Structure 1
Amino acid sequence: MIRKINRIFQDYMREKRLKIGKNIWDRKNKEKIIEDNNFIEDNNIKSILFLRYDGKIGDMVINTIMFREIKKSYPEIKIGVVTRGGAKDIISNNKNVDKIYEYNKKTSEVKKLAREIALEKYDLLIDFSEMLRVNQMMFINMCKAKINIGINKKDWNLFEVSLKSIDYHYHISNLYLEILKFLGIKNIVRKYDLFPTNYMIEKLNLKNKKYVVFNPYAASKHRSFNLENMIKISEIILEKNFDKLILIGTKNHLSELERIKKRFGDKIIIPETENILEVVELISKANLVVTPDTSIVHIAATFERKMLCIYRREIGKEDKNSILWGPNYDQARVIYVDEKVKNGEEIDINKIKIEKLKEKIDEI
């Protein structure tokens, strides 16, 4: 009861803070813009700043479409990206990104970075947030780009252009394609763009070997496999004609993964990776990828690897998540964990029917 009251109070205060923040920061001397055939050329855009301060790796993978397609048509345009964490690492050697700015949530750091960016005088800023927090409003205001584009921001003064919000009946990449078309980019190729390391395959002696990458983990326990299911899934994979099974996890997961290796022996590899691009390299050559709904789905999609991904779906409700964030290519297969849950509860991925998973792996 106390937790419920606290949640109601926090929601109420959040709404108040957002209103106050909007009153302070939703200000801009709007540029007169031309929305004709080619937004970039008509408005003399020479530099574009992308805001991806959420640090989500999957979103950034899909965003790489935009970096490449803009550079393909306008190689002289400067592209800057504001991001953090693993999303920063995923584009650290992207040849289509000219400058990466690391976002820190601390208000003092937000102001410091915004002042640095303001000195560079970007012509166009593109923000992908459907909802802006106060620090993000302040950041956009202080970056002082000539033109700001936002998603579903019709009633904001901070944005010259408001593009339609996400359509949950289509894959998220459609939103990026629509923005590119609005900018005047033509002949768009939908493929994502990642530049992995080139030493992990050799380091782990995987060259010319058939191997599977199994990622058991996601952002929450309800979306991650427990040890019992990890063992069952590993056993199913190892029954097939693969040379190695690579288990992916963070340093916090190592002790759990070692228990699986102890059970199955040398066919299991638990790589000690330093960054996400080393994981990207392993996925890029895998014969099969098995993962819940995480950024790994989009990384595997980049290289069109055979993939089995596991999504959750509430019985009786429209399935929007797996459409919006699905793999979106022919070599991938999806298994749904269907469950009816009470309000506020989460579907547990560990309710998966293992026989169903086995059938899909046979199919692949």
Structure 2
Amino acid sequence: MIRKLNRVIQDFLRPIRLELGRKIWDKKSEKHLELIKNNRVDMSRVKSILFLRYDGKIGDMVINTLMFREIQKRYPDIRIGVVSRGAATDIIKFNPHIDIIYNYKKGKESELASEIAKENYDVLIDFSEMLRVNQMKFINLCKAKINIGLDKKDWDLFDLSYEKNYEKHITDMYKNVLNTLGIENPNLDYEIHTGMIVKDEIKRRLRELGNPESIVILNPYAASKHRSFNIEKILEISCKVLKDSKSMLIFIGESSKKSEIEGIIEVLGDRDRVKYPTLSGILEVVELIKHADYVITPDTSIVHIGVAEKLPMTAVYRLDTGDNNSVVWGPNSPLVKQIFSKDIAAIGEEADINKFDIREIGV
């Protein structure tokens, strides 16, 4: 009851805070119209671009990698900086198209913005659908010459705005941004660089597993329990993989799920073919996925990692309820079979992803 009341209060206060924050931070002390030509950035004058990816979302960062490559390919002398947070930073840790990564910490926006302002960035690109007050403040204090944002036509803080088409894949939006930077017909493939230490570590782990000839990776878990496979479904999927293929079945999942996964392996009773290696960080997960022949996952960042590695997959989604999530954030790859839970959520509840037929899963 207290939690529900607090949510109601926060929902009431949010628009008030946002309106107040905008009155304070939605402004720009200096406009650099010389950098804008025909509603695009005049790239002949640009020496540096800053990307804001402070949401910490791994999948979003994976998709964003296409932009870093395409910009450097077209403009090799432009300096690229990225503001990132959490595990998403590891996705770009070894990216050769990025010159500097800034670590974003909530509550420390002023200090980081002051550091960035000294770099005098020509262009700042933000991807937020809704700016929180601390983000407005951060963008204002970064003092880039040109700020570009999503649906920000009526903002003083932003000089250029781009749109998101909710009927198309998210890469269409990134293509629009690249178009604003004078890049036509970009390559929309994602890429992840893991580094030699991680590559060698995963090779060592695979040797310990007997260098299996074929691997199926099962990722049962998502950030929400409503988007994660339950134990019954995990067992059904596992039995299908073991029956329909000769592959080794490898589970991936956070260490907090270790006891649950080990219990599942015990029930399956085939420790020679079913494994759960302890992995350290998202890059080891990426490198292990590179060695897989097939991946099975709910709607998570693993979908986008698998697409980056051009792997065949089965990706399980809940039915769209007006947000078109399965299109906008779907796999966008002919190698991926997208299947859907048939559960329809009651009002105020979330749909269960486990209401699908495992016979739809390919191996």
Into which bin does the TM-score normalised by the smaller protein fall? Answer: over 0.9
Q: State how far apart, in whole Å, the 2-side matches of 1:140 and 1:41 are.
A: 21
Segments of structure 1 that go 5 or more residues without pairing to the other structure are none
What is residue 218 of structure 1 aligned with on the other side? Answer: 222
SS of the residue 1:339 aligns to:
coil
Contact 2:53 2:61 (C-alpha < 8 Å) held by counterparts:
yes
1:246 aligns with 2:250: yes
What is residue 20 of structure 1 aligned with on the other side? Answer: 20
Contact 1:50 1:80 (C-alpha < 8 Å) held by counterparts:
yes
Contact 1:289 1:307 (C-alpha < 8 Å) held by counterparts:
yes
Q: Which of the numbers 165, 175, 178 marks the counterpart of 1:177? A: 175
Q: Which of the numbers 287, 293, 300 marks the counterpart of 2:299? A: 293
What is residue 9 of structure 1 aligned with on the other side? Answer: 9
Segments of structure 2 that go 5 or more residues without pairing to the other structure are none
Q: State how far apart, in whole Å, the 1-side matches of 2:92 and 2:42 are.
A: 23
What is the deviation of 1:187? 4.0
SS of the residue 2:342 aligns to:
strand
**Cα distance change of structure 1 residues 318 and 156 upon mapping to structure 2, 3 Å threshold:** closer
What is the deviation of 1:282? 1.3
**Structure 1 length as normaliser, TM-score?**
0.93
SS of the residue 1:104 aligns to:
coil
Q: Write the mapping of 1:195-214 to structure 2, written as runs, cut at 5 A.
A: 195-196=193-194, 197-199=198-200, 200-205=202-207, 207=211, 209-214=213-218
Contact 2:297 2:303 (C-alpha < 8 Å) held by counterparts:
yes
What is residue 99 of structure 1 aligned with on the other side? Answer: 100
Q: State how far apart, in whole Å, the 1-side matches of 2:32 and 2:115 are.
A: 21
What is the deviation of 1:126? 0.1
What is residue 319 of structure 2 aligned with on the other side? Answer: 313
Deviations 1:304-345 (A, max 9, x none): 11100100005xx45711000111111110110122222221
Higher alpha-carbon deviation: 275-284 or 119-128: 275-284
SS of the residue 1:49 aligns to:
strand
What is residue 47 of structure 2 aligned with on the other side? Answer: 46
Q: State how far apart, in whole Å, the 2-side matches of 1:198 and 1:216 are.
A: 24
Q: State how far apart, in whole Å, the 1-side matches of 2:306 and 2:138 are.
A: 33
Q: State how far apart, in whole Å, the 2-side matches of 1:190 and 1:173 are.
A: 7
**Cα distance change of structure 1 residues 38 and 127 upon mapping to structure 2, 3 Å threshold:** closer
Q: State how far apart, in whole Å, the 1-side matches of 2:314 and 2:203 are.
A: 22
SS of the residue 2:283 aligns to:
helix
Q: Write the mapping of 1:5-154 to structure 2, written as runs, cut at 5 A.
A: 5-28=5-28, 29-32=30-33, 33-36=35-38, 39-42=41-44, 44-106=45-107, 109-154=108-153
SS of the residue 2:319 aligns to:
strand
What is the deviation of 1:82? 0.4
Contact 1:37 1:184 (C-alpha < 8 Å) held by counterparts:
no
Contact 2:249 2:275 (C-alpha < 8 Å) held by counterparts:
yes
Letter in 2 for 1:348: D
**Structure 2 length as normaliser, TM-score?**
0.93
SS of the residue 1:266 aligns to:
coil
Deviations 1:251-274 (A, max 9, x none): 111111111222331211212111
Letter in 1 for 2:239: E
Q: State how far apart, in whole Å, the 2-side matches of 1:91 and 1:151 are.
A: 22
Q: State how far apart, in whole Å, the 2-side matches of 1:310 and 1:319 are.
A: 16
Q: State how far apart, in whole Å, the 2-side matches of 1:273 and 1:2 are.
A: 38
What's the RMSD between the two structures over aligned residues? 1.7
What is residue 349 of structure 1 aligned with on the other side? Answer: 353
Deviations 1:48-90 (A, max 9, x none): 0000000001100010000000000111111110011111011
Q: Give identity over the alignment, percent.
A: 51
SS of the residue 1:100 aligns to:
strand
Letter in 1 for 2:181: L
Higher alpha-carbon deviation: 129-138 or 199-208: 199-208
Q: State how far apart, in whole Å, the 2-side matches of 1:60 and 1:179 are.
A: 15
What is the deviation of 1:37? 9.0
Deviations 1:218-243 (A, max 9, x none): 01110111122111111111112233
Higher alpha-carbon deviation: 141-150 or 202-211: 202-211
Contact 1:307 1:332 (C-alpha < 8 Å) held by counterparts:
yes
SS of the residue 1:212 aligns to:
strand
Higher alpha-carbon deviation: 289-298 or 15-24: 15-24
Q: State how far apart, in whole Å, the 2-side matches of 1:37 and 1:185 are.
A: 14
Q: State how far apart, in whole Å, the 1-side matches of 2:123 and 2:102 are.
A: 16
**Cα distance change of structure 1 residues 237 and 252 upon mapping to structure 2, 3 Å threshold:** same
SS of the residue 1:204 aligns to:
helix
SS of the residue 1:129 aligns to:
coil
Deviations 1:261-304 (A, max 9, x none): 22331211212111111111111221110000000000000111
How many residues align? The count is 353
